[in-house]
Structure 1
Amino acid sequence: MTHTRIQPVLNRPGENALFIVLGLNQEDSITDTIIDFSANFSALTRSLTNRFPDAQFSATMGFSSHAWDQLFPNQSKPQELETFKEIKGPKYTAVSTAGDLFFHIRADRQALCYELGSIIQEQLKDVTHSIDEVHGFRYFDGRAIIGFVDGTENPEPEIAAEYALVGEEDLSFKGGSYAFIQKYTHDMDKWRALSDEEQEKVIGRKKFNDVELGDDVKPNTAHNVVSKAHDENGNELKIMRANMPFSNPSKNEYGTLFIGYARKFSVTRQMLEHMFQGDAEGNLDRLLDFSTAQTGTLFFVPTVDFLDGLGE
């Protein structure tokens, strides 16, 4: 029985992360260069992993709907891969922004993130242009920059693949994953003006020990209430988050790069619709009063086997 080799979407967020979004240039000649690079991507990452076995290095590569159409016109397409459509709510909007290729690089040593980032730039600079680059870091014990532990809603490692990886429902792309990214910036002056108790009601958890607030004190607008997704039977659906804080303090820039890996993008989208447009009771996510989505782009992260097969 052949074993499907998946990209490392299930890895922990790591100490450092580099998120790179590139756009494809318009020339017809770019396809071969990008296909060659993609076919060699697993060899490139394997080489760095082998050189620095203790650095917890990993990297994933994803493609937008537009890139898929341009690069693989004769291949079928993942069922839910589309250009993200903005979600406009009564107060705030989950914007849709450009992006064709996506790289999520993680390592305990920042030098390794830099190393792969510079190789990507060197090999793709003539066929792509930079759209965004975010340098994430682990903040204390895995906290977001607003001071609360992030990723607490992630499924347990034993069942994470069930929520993060495509299954039998789309056999051609089994083992792949839908990666949705949003760069949020936070109004820290406004956030710091809240007491710890008020902040806890925005998030729905205790700040110090991360214990969930009791239903008697937790508002219906709390982030961990509104941002849930459910199937038609009311069972909760999860995604795999690998969010990272980023900051340029001298520019008063504080943010979170949200990344959700999901078996179905429709699950992530349901979460976003609840946050921005309101859940079944019309509650909006109170966290959006302090956090602004600056970007929003959907990519598909195929299997390592798919990437390697591009070279044939």
Structure 2
Amino acid sequence: MDEGTWNRTTIEPQSVEAPLSNCAIFLVVTIRPGDEAARRAREVIADIGGLVRAVGFRDLSGHLSCNVGIGSAAWDRFEQPSRPEQLRPFAPITSGTHIAVSTPGDLLFHIRAERADMCFELERLILDKLDSSVTVIDEVQGFRYFDARDLLGFVDGTENPTGAAMAESSIVGDEDAEFAGGSYVVVQKYLHDIAAWNGLSTERQEQIIGRTKADNVELDQPDDARKSHKSLNTVVDANGVEHDILRDNMPFGRPGRGEFGTYFIGYARELWVIEQMLRHMFVGDPVGEYDRILDFSTATTGTTFFVPSLEVLEGLAPSD
């Protein structure tokens, strides 16, 4: 076991490493003012496992799960003696006409299953339990699109780590021992200009993404060429070590309203890795050479959360 790797035998994370599902709901809420609202929120999230079991037992093959993320301001309201070392609000990134916006969010519920009705039922129960203690800020229903493609037509999540590397990239270890087994997560909702994107040739789309569209093969990139989306999302530190995150993006849309999008959700052991990826995308690497996918995709939300281990989550229950 590498130094700083969390111990599976004593710490149980939430379902961060669950495989890509057919259906998902991304629910972001804020907690209303007052001690009673904060107390109610703590009661509900501490018992999220009970709600998952109440729905999930109906079809075990549905693989229902729910990760609960807690925002920086909410963590402070929960009056805990300490906080995750890297938990901080999402900082907006501005570069020319492209902006990574920062939007409100105290709690994130990342619901996944093989059946849409199970996701729906769990969300309904969660909101019933939370009742008037929260305000819904954003609610997105995602779906698996053919062979894990986004609505731009490319396979999404190809660079996700696998095996032991999955936990090493996404789960906090002994470097923050009190919160080992947790994970930092950033969410962003992107809306696509599908008509403009489809107006490009396939070759041009492939140059922007950095992969072939039909068979998902990584393209060779000349040293003097502008970096692709794939290259800009590769983070290498000063020692030449590449750092990964775990993505569970899902497409969503309502064609009748002209809405086509991708819900980005990235889990990371080190929050700075996701922040660096976003700086590369919006500011550019080098500066000015931003991710050209942003000419067709607009970020409309941006929020950071911490997904604690099950032990820490359950420990948030208010004492009598």
TM class by smaller structure: over 0.9
Map 1:218-297; keep pairs closer than 5 Å.
Answer: 219-280=225-286, 282-297=288-303
Of the candidates 4, 8, 12, which is equivalent to residue 5 of structure 1? 12
| Conserved 8 A contact 2:251-2:263 | yes
Paired position in structure 2 for 1:15: 22
Q: Distance in 1 between matches of 2:42 and 2:186?
A: 22
Question: Sequence identity, in percent?
Answer: 44
1:24 aligns with 2:31: yes
Q: Distance in 2 between matches of 1:237 and 1:161?
A: 12
Q: Distance in 1 between matches of 2:145 and 2:112?
A: 14
With the length of structure 1 as denominator, give the TM-score of the two structures. 0.96
Pairwise CA RMSD of aligned residues?
1.6
Paired position in structure 2 for 1:79: 85
| Conserved 8 A contact 2:31-2:41 | no
Paired position in structure 2 for 1:155: 161
Moved beyond 6 Å, runs of 4+ = none
Q: Distance in 1 between matches of 2:149 and 2:163?
A: 19
Q: Tell me which moved more, 80-89 or 179-188.
A: 80-89
Map 1:181-192; keep pairs closer than 5 Å.
Answer: 181-192=187-198
* Structure 2: runs of 5 or more not aligned: 1-6
| Conserved 8 A contact 2:143-2:250 | yes
With the length of structure 2 as denominator, give the TM-score of the two structures. 0.93
1:219, distance to aligned residue in structure 2 (A): 4.2
Q: Distance in 1 between matches of 2:209 and 2:72?
A: 33
Q: Deviations over 1:226-282 (max 9, x none)?
A: 122112212211100000000000111100000000001100000000110111465
| Conserved 8 A contact 2:32-2:38 | no
Q: Which amino acid aligns with 1:11?
A: A
1:56, distance to aligned residue in structure 2 (A): 2.0
Q: Tell me which moved more, 196-205 or 85-94.
A: 85-94
1:117 aligns with 2:154: no
Q: Distance in 2 between matches of 1:219 and 1:51?
A: 53
1:142, distance to aligned residue in structure 2 (A): 0.2
1:40, distance to aligned residue in structure 2 (A): 0.9
Secondary structure (helix, strand or coil) at the match of 1:38 reads helix
Q: Deviations over 1:198-249 (max 9, x none)?
A: 1111100000000001224994231001122112212211100000000000
Secondary structure (helix, strand or coil) at the match of 1:118 reads helix
Aligned pairs, how many? 311
Of the candidates 56, 59, 68, which is equivalent to residue 61 of structure 1? 68
